[in-house]
Amino acid sequence: EVIQYIYGKYGRERAALAATVICYRGRSAVRDVAKALGLPLDQVDQLSDVFARGWGDSTAGERLREQGFDPDNPVIRRILKLTHELLGMPRHLSQHVGGFVISDASLSEMVPVENAAMPDRTVIQWEKDDLDYMRMLKVDCLALGMLTCLRKCFGLLESEHGVVKTIATIATADKDDEKTYAMIQRADTVGVFQIESRAQMAMLPRHRPANFYDLVIQVAIVRPGPIQGDMVHPYLQRRQDPGAVTYPSEALRAVLERTLGVPIFQEQVMQIAMIAADFSAGEADSLRRAMAAWKRKGGLGPFHERLVGRMVEKGYEPDYAERIFRQIEGFGEYGFPESHAAGFALLAYISSWIKRHHPDAFLAGLLNSQPMGFYAPAQLVRDAREHGVEVLAVDVRHSAAESTLVPAAASVVSADAANHRGAGPAAPSGLGEGEPLSAVRLGFDRVGG
């Protein structure tokens, strides 16, 4: 919906998605080489499995033998040699998930344009780095399935319960709901935006988010940047023991105070470079660009010498400077700016609030917005039943295309059960003490669930 809105507003002559160059990695390279050299498909699959855990390490020969291959066989040696040459080379052109180039003139006068596979979409043949080099602006339009889910949840609440809610009203009137945060702290977050993965669920009981900014950090901290930079455990330790909060220098206190002395966000890393390593604004921006591109192109080497060297010269511990650089490499995988994390945290809280107080509408909204998230419809249904939601099978006499809310067989459910995970049919509706919990009637579109 969002992407087609952009095309409709600006026209396909002036708006197009950017490209993404997909490059060869171990599995894709060895599969294409083995196919080209005539290996049967079952052996292609076996070779692919051999290098699924990495390429070129000391155990490669042993893993080949385990799969029945002779590393000294001329064909296998040729496959390995050609595969190694292909690593990192472009394989095919794909389209960016939401990166638009929008122009005031016809795009075809400036860049090569092609039709996308999907109707009514146009893609330019340049990727982000090409656009940066040509000084063309790319605008990322993030289209999230959870926004569709929330819209459908709000519609069900209004039509079936007479409850009028929006993202704005929940974010203001219901922003500090203790029951919602208690549910989050228990990692009872199946179906919730951003904090439903196994890694996030493992972190929630340790971090115990109790307010909105805690959620902002929660969204950002389970990322390669903070993890690779060894920032997660120090943050959790300082959260549990405020006396352990220290700052590498008084100059960095203003940058790091809101995250207990531990850098978590992209902006903080850039500010550290400017304050602790005397980077200019231009150098910091070059660092930001290098952070995003280093996996494909390298180029962080010169920054290591400048950043670590200057920090040590100014009296910072070498270990701390090296940790900052490792975190920069991690951000190349994907690190959150603080504003991005705040936007995601808002949706995480809104979806958590609806799950806690209206689990019936939450399930119906999720089922009507598939595919999305980590969980299959059957898992979402099972979780909702554990929270007291009655789920009725598809019925040719009563079901609509989408899942709907209907009166439940048990007309009143006590709200005192505190919505504990696994509480069974006595779990509360969350609609208020003594209020009814609707049943969810599965729709024909979700028969597979």
CA 140 – CA 134 distance, rounded (Å)? 17
How many other CB atoms are there within 10 angstroms of residue 91's CB atom?
14
What is the per-residue pLDDT for 181?
97
Looking at residue 428, its pLDDT comes to 42
Per-residue model confidence (pLDDT) at position 229: 62
Q: Residue 94 belongs to what H/E stretch? A: strand 90-102
Using 70 as the pLDDT threshold, list the residues of the chain that sit under it: 52-59, 224-230, 292-299, 330-335, 410-436, 446-449
Q: How far apart are CA 21 and CA 445, in angstroms?
A: 35
Give the model confidence (pLDDT) of 11-37 as tens digits. Answer: 999 999 999 888 888 888 888 998 998
Pairwise CA distance, residues 435 & 266, whole Å:
45
Give the separation between CA 277 and CA 113, rounded to whole angstroms: 43
Rounded Cα distance, 449 and 447, in Å: 5
Helix (H, G, I), strand (E, B) or coil at 296: helix
**Are residues 405 and 431 in contact, defined by beta-carbon separation less than 8 angstroms?**
no
pTM, entire model: 0.77
Nearest alpha carbon to residue 385 among 354, 421, 434, 436: 421
d(CA 197, CA 373): 9
Residue 96 phi, psi dihedral angles, 5° rounding: -65, 145
* pLDDT at residue number 294: 52
CB crowding 98-108: b at 16 or more within 10 Å, else e: bbbbbbeeebe
Tell me the C-alpha distance between 198 and 185, whole Å.
Answer: 14
pLDDT of residue 427: 40
